[in-house]
Copies of this chain bind each other. A is one copy, B any other.
Amino acid sequence: MSETLIPRFLRPMKAPGENAGYALELGPEHPLVLDSGKVLSPLTIAYITYGTLNAERSNAVLITHALTGDQFVASTHPVTGKPGWWDLAVGPGKPIDTDRFFVICANVLGGCMGTTGPASIDPATGKIYGLNFPLVTIRDMVRAQAMLLDQLGIEKLLCVIGGSMGGMQALQWAATYPERVFSAMPIATGARHSAQNIAFHEVGRQAIMADPDWRGGDYNSFDVHPSKGLAVARMAAHITYLSEAALQRKFGRELQDRQALSFGFDADFQIESYLRHQGMTFVDRFDANSYLYITRAMDYFDLAADFDGVLAEAFRGTKARFCLVSFTSDWLFPTSENKRIAHALNASGANVSFVEIESDRGHDAFLLDEPELFQVMQGFLGSAASARGVK
């Protein structure tokens, strides 16, 4: 990327070397008006890019991340040291080919990896926002991403692609900025959060808020973190990301490091040990208040709500091509919900294809090595690129 394109907004997040991304700083001249009516300013958007923007600026692919994802889509995570969460999908010669496309991924609004969120400083008080951070929506996240694209000089995306909450953002992009989206690939997602999904999120939030170290959201002032509550929230959520069949196949009733039941409350079963590990490692990389805000944004998501409940109206006028993907064993965002979106897109006259992939790995399949997903991705992106004349 050229230094002259976006000079004054960029500062490296880390020492040079590793592709650790940038932070776009938007001052008072760029206020973000939120769905709540509140105004967020100043605003930092932490993001990362791969590949090169072509001269026509027509090869930009925006990847939108899920609830606990971040911008480190194909880069080593600065906290965990693990490979990027979509390392399998993004890179030179990979389905989202960084030799061909200019790939952007930004940490969502309300997140905790550099973009403004509840752990940022509230300019009104000079202290960490905590619960004074305004509630944000999926549309607010997308608005912030649009501001980033403005600064990057990208008028229209070749594709916006993401799974789960990332898919919600992809749908929201098509609905809010139809003229800025050439194609969209929402994966394993929904056009609204279901009652069951809200219920699981509410359990997670209550677990966090029940932790006395949460301190009404002001834990930073006390130099504590509600890690126990956040770990419980993560454990509950993690079950919903998998499938009954996958859990049975992977763990069954196998015991962990023992020959017989202990007749106690230790993690006798592998599944218990696995879940505890998921909870414990998560709290090292995620902020509890961000978890509250982002789950809330997902709960509030209902794309049809602004159109008297008629989802097709949300997509009226879009010329974008869509490719929807669901997984057979995903019970968080089942195929039926993805079909509902496909029907709405059809009804609005959009160009839409829909693929249901056979997998027993549940919702998380979109993050795993699913060859059919990658084939579909590569094919859809390639076709969109050809249609737009991207070499």
Residues of chain A touching chain B, judged by Cβ–Cβ distance below 8 Å, are 35-36, 131, 134-135, 192-196, 198-200, 202-203, 205-207, 209-212, 228-229, 231-232, 235-236, 239, 242, 244, 247-248, 250-253, 261, 263-265, 267-269, 271-272, 275-276, 279, 292, 296, 299-300, 302, 331, 334
Contact = CB atoms under 8 A, between A and B. Distances in A.
A331 B236 contact: no
Most buried by B among A244, A276, A292: A244
15 contacts: A36-B263, A193-B253, A195-B247, A195-B251, A195-B253, A199-B271, A202-B276, A203-B232, A207-B210, A210-B231, A212-B212, A244-B334, A253-B302, A265-B296, A269-B299
Q: Within the oligomer, what is the number of copies of this chain?
A: 2
Q: A-side binding surface: helix, strand, loop or mixed?
A: helix
A292 to B, nearest CB: 6
Contacts of A272: 198-199, 202
Nearest to A296: B265
A171 to B, nearest CB: 16
Closest 7 CB pairs of A and B: A210-B228, A195-B247, A36-B263, A135-B263, A195-B251, A195-B271, A202-B272
A261 to B, nearest CB: 6
Contacts of A195: 244, 247-248, 250-253, 269, 271
A252 B242 CA distance: 23
Contacts of A207: 207, 210, 232
A194 B229 CA distance: 25
B212 A244 contact: no
Given A202-B269, A207-B232, A210-B229, 8 more contacts: A195-B244, A195-B248, A199-B239, A199-B272, A200-B239, A202-B271, A202-B276, A265-B292
